[in-house]
Structure 1
Amino acid sequence: MKKHLYISWVFALMLLMSFAVADFYSSMTKVDYLEASKTLKFTTKLNTAHISDAIKINPNTAGFEAEVKRYVNNNFDLYVNGSPKTLTFTGSQVNGESVWVYFEANGISEISTIRIKNTILLSSFPKQFNLVNIAYKGNQRTMNFQRGKEVNEVSF
């Protein structure tokens, strides 16, 4: 009987431990090429609490969008065909647990390579994982970034 009780307690403890909270740190960016306007449009989804912690500002305050803009500009670099491109922040939106960030790069007529440096949240969260999906003229490429692999390049 004692053996069965012990096994039951061990099983119950293991079951409780399986429900322990483990944060998952990630961002996802979707990149679409708009041929008519020769623009790369970026949509990035971040966890609201994580970006708020990183920039040290409450997402419900008036200055949140400006700080997100500054943060993204300092942590995301784009090179097309070896040339650096300027990213223009077009807005952000807090939607519950997610922050959506919108930016773009204009004047891009043809793409053979895209290189991105993405350090979003990497300094704040050691296990942060950033994913970037790029759609260009019917082709899809995926990049991933983490500490130690902050730069990635794809060819089309």
Structure 2
Amino acid sequence: MLAAVLTSAAVHKYYVAVFMMEQVPEKKELQITARIFIDDLDKVLSDKNKKQFFLCTKKEVADADKYINQYVTEKLQVKVNGTVKPLKILGRETEDDILILYITAEAKGKIKTLEVRNTMLFDAYPEQQNIINTKIDGNKKSLLLTNDNPQDILHY
């Protein structure tokens, strides 16, 4: 059902973003894939910066990546074993009305705890839900982060 929500090309009324976090031990990193509705991110960036971004269109502003990266690093925080890890945004692509962001964070050694704070889109949509799916050392676990509960921790 969630896949249907995220791939709907029609105007959506659900405020959901999905984040997949997977440890890749040989690269010593946590790979994060964020799937966010383009129009939601565009509205948040436009409201915050008082200018139109026209994300993923021919009219997109030239420095959109700078604003996207700044917003993501401000709103998404990942702690591995209690230590905040800087995020590196590698790139993005679109799929229908979804913006897919590729992000990494350093993750050396065994992950015992993964703490995530994700307030993306909460500033524009109080009913926003951010789903965090993880795969660490073969274990799959998930979090549902909301305006009332923007942060949680997983133990492996």
TM bracket, shorter-chain basis: 0.7 to 0.9
Greater Cα shift, 34-43 or 102-111: 102-111
Contact persistence 2:80–2:107 (CA under 8 A): no
The residue number in structure 2 matching 1:55 is 45
Residue correspondence of structure 1 range 100-111 to structure 2 within 5 A: 100-111=100-111
Q: Relative to 1, partners in 2 of residues 1:107 and 1:130: Cα closer, same or farther, differing over 3 Å?
A: closer
SS at match of 2:26: coil
The residue number in structure 1 matching 2:123 is 123
Aligned equivalents of 1:22 and 1:88: distance in 2?
29
Contact persistence 2:86–2:105 (CA under 8 A): yes
Q: CA deviation at 1:64?
A: 2.2
Residue correspondence of structure 1 range 13-32 to structure 2 within 5 A: 23-32=13-22
Aligned equivalents of 2:65 and 2:95: distance in 1?
13
* 1:34 has 2:30 as partner: no
Q: Which runs of 5+ in 1 are unaligned?
A: 1-20
The residue number in structure 1 matching 2:141 is 141
Q: Which runs of 5+ in 2 are unaligned?
A: 1-10, 47-52
Structural RMSD (CA): 1.3
The residue number in structure 2 matching 1:91 is 91
Q: CA deviation at 1:94?
A: 2.7
- In structure 2, give the amino acid aligned to 1:55: L
- 1:111-131 deviation per Cα after TM superposition (whole angstroms, max 9, x unaligned): 100101000101110110000
4+ residue runs over 6 A deviation: none
**Higher Rg:** 1
> What TM-score does the superposition give when structure 2 sets the normalisation length?
0.83
Q: CA deviation at 1:93?
A: 1.4
Q: Relative to 1, partners in 2 of residues 1:22 and 1:98: Cα closer, same or farther, differing over 3 Å?
A: closer
Q: Relative to 1, partners in 2 of residues 1:118 and 1:84: Cα closer, same or farther, differing over 3 Å?
A: same
The residue number in structure 1 matching 2:6 is none
Residue correspondence of structure 1 range 70-89 to structure 2 within 5 A: 70-89=70-89
How many residue pairs get aligned? The number is 136
Residue correspondence of structure 1 range 7-18 to structure 2 within 5 A: none
